[in-house]
Amino acid sequence: MIVAAVNAKPSIVLGLATGGTPTATYANIVEDFRAGKVQFKDVTSFNLDEYIGLSGTHPQSFRYFMQSELFDHIDIDPNNTFVPEGGASDPASHAIQYEAQIAAAGGIDLQLLGIGHNGHIAFNEPGSLPSTRTRVVELTPSTIEKNARFFASVDEVPKTAITMGIGTILEAKQILLLATGKGKAEAVRRSLQEAASEEVPASWLEQHPDVTFVLDEDAASELSL
């Protein structure tokens, strides 16, 4: 879907995600680029989120992840890749500026998402409303614990982040959410089969007219429909 979308609109604005889930997606994109099936020279990208306190050279920062998983291997113009700056001196005003940069680029055409075990999208934890915009947030203890696997210890996981809001995400023209594994089954079921509420932030996606969930059998295993 992503490669087809870029080929249909070479100047597309992509919204990109980090985490364990999209690594195979990015590997496939790199493979298609190397095979000459797609180019990214006119693409602009905006990432969903970043830990506050980690600069882009920190190996656990989302900027570093994007460079090593995707950007360093394709022909995207580095000036057109946007990831919130975890090292910004004033994260709150940087978040407002990030929102303005998305608007100046014409908005996001296709937004890639993962989903947290507690139903979070980007770092919009339970309690996040559909009106939320790019902002500074505190991470829940369960998210900190889940993401500790990428760090030497749980104490090293930042406690705050800059994240696009639910409202920012819902403004993307098209949304593609990926989920794999049994650990995501409950969040997927609640997102798709319960009324939208702030308890499960991904359930707000029900309000969007063009969302695709791509699930493996384990992530889909609690769906009854």
Ligand X SMILES: O=P(O)(O)OC[C@H]1O[C@](O)(CO)[C@@H](O)[C@@H]1O
The catalytic residue positions are 49, 118, 120, 125
Work out which of 6, 13, 14, 17 binds ligand X, going by CB under 6 A.
Answer: 17
Q: How far is the CB of 107 from ligand X (least distance, A)?
A: 20
> Which residue, 116 or 130, has its beta carbon nearer to ligand X?
116
Q: The sheet that has 110-113: what strands, in order across it?
A: 81-82, 44-47, 13-16, 110-113, 174-179, 211-215
Taking residue 210's Cβ as centre, other Cβ atoms within 10 Å add up to 10
Work out which of 40, 51, 82, 123 binds ligand X, going by CB under 6 A.
Answer: 123
CB-closest chain residue to ligand X: 114
Q: How far is the CB of 37 from ligand X (least distance, A)?
A: 25
* Number of shown-chain residues binding ligand X (CB under 6 A): 12
Work out which of 86, 114, 158, 201 binds ligand X, going by CB under 6 A.
Answer: 114
Site for ligand X in 46-65 (CB under 6 A): 49
Q: How far is the CB of 160 from ligand X (least distance, A)?
A: 13
E strand intervals along 43-182: 44-47, 49-51, 81-82, 110-113, 135-138, 160-163, 174-179
Which residues have C-beta within 8 Å of that of residue 200, sequence separation ≥ 6? Answer: 118, 119, 126, 187, 190, 191, 194
Task: Tell me which DSSP letter residue 176 carries.
Answer: E
**116 is an interface residue for ligand X by CB under 6 A:** yes
Stretch (H or E) spanning 211 = strand 211-215
Q: How far is the CB of 58 from ligand X (least distance, A)?
A: 15
How is residue 60 written in tokens? 């656990």
Residues that bind ligand X (CB under 6 A): 17-21, 49, 114-116, 123, 143, 147
